């Protein structure tokens, strides 16, 4: 069954301290119809997770940020948005999968460098899985 296309209301928060990578992910997901919000740090991302801010459907974060651990950011996000999903990206080997498996939300891992379709598929997959969890 083909993946459901974005409905132009799904918001994706992209947290990446590398400007080029962040810009690439924002461009790819925006062209797919997602509403994107971008942050260069965990501190900046936390602002978008505050009460009163628009709902975030998916967090896309690098595992290694200058100011925080991306998995810790994902854990915090999952506590705040249990109906959402997370995509973790990294160019480093040895990411502790055990920590990712403890996330209470659907998640996917994308290894850098990645092909744009891999990121598109990962975001769609966690969105669809989160929608299935909400519908159950």
Give tens-digit pLDDT for 2-50: 456 566 789 999 999 999 999 999 999 999 999 999 999 999 999 999 9
Average pLDDT taken over every residue of the chain: 90
| 33 lies in some domain | yes
| 135 lies in some domain | no
| 89 lies in some domain | yes
| 72 lies in some domain | yes
Residue 99 binned pLDDT confidence (cut-offs 50, 70, 90): confident
pLDDT for 96 equals 65
Token pair, residue 118, equals 């891999």
pLDDT for 2 equals 45
Please report, for the domain that includes residue 36, its CATH number. Answer: 3.40.50.2300
Question: What integer is the mean pLDDT of 102-122?
Answer: 93
Count of domains observed in the chain: 1
Parallel, antiparallel or unpaired: strands 107-111 and 58-62: unpaired
| 124 lies in some domain | no
Q: Which domain holds residue 79?
A: 11-115
Provide long-range contacts, Cβ within 8 A and 24+ apart, for 129-133: 129/85, 130/57, 130/58, 130/83, 130/84, 130/85, 130/105, 130/106, 133/83, 133/106
| 78 lies in some domain | yes
pLDDT for 136 equals 52
pLDDT for 94 equals 66
């Amino acid at each position: 069954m083909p993946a459901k296309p974005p409905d132009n209301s799904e918001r994706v928060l992209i947290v990446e301290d590398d400007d080029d990578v962040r810009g690439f992910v924002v461009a790819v997901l925006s062209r797919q119809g997602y509403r994107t919000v971008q942050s260069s740090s965990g501190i900046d991302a936390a602002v978008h997770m505050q009460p009163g801010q628009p709902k975030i459907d998916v967090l896309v974060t690098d595992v290694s940020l200058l100011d925080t651990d991306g998995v810790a950011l994902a854990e915090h996000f999952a506590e705040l948005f249990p109906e959402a999903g997370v995509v973790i990206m990294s160019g480093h080997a040895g990411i502790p999968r055990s920590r990712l498996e403890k996330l209470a939300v659907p998640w996917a891992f994308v290894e850098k460098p990645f092909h744009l379709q891999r990121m598109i598929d990962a975001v769609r997959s966690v969105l669809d899985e989160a929608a299935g969890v909400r519908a159950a």
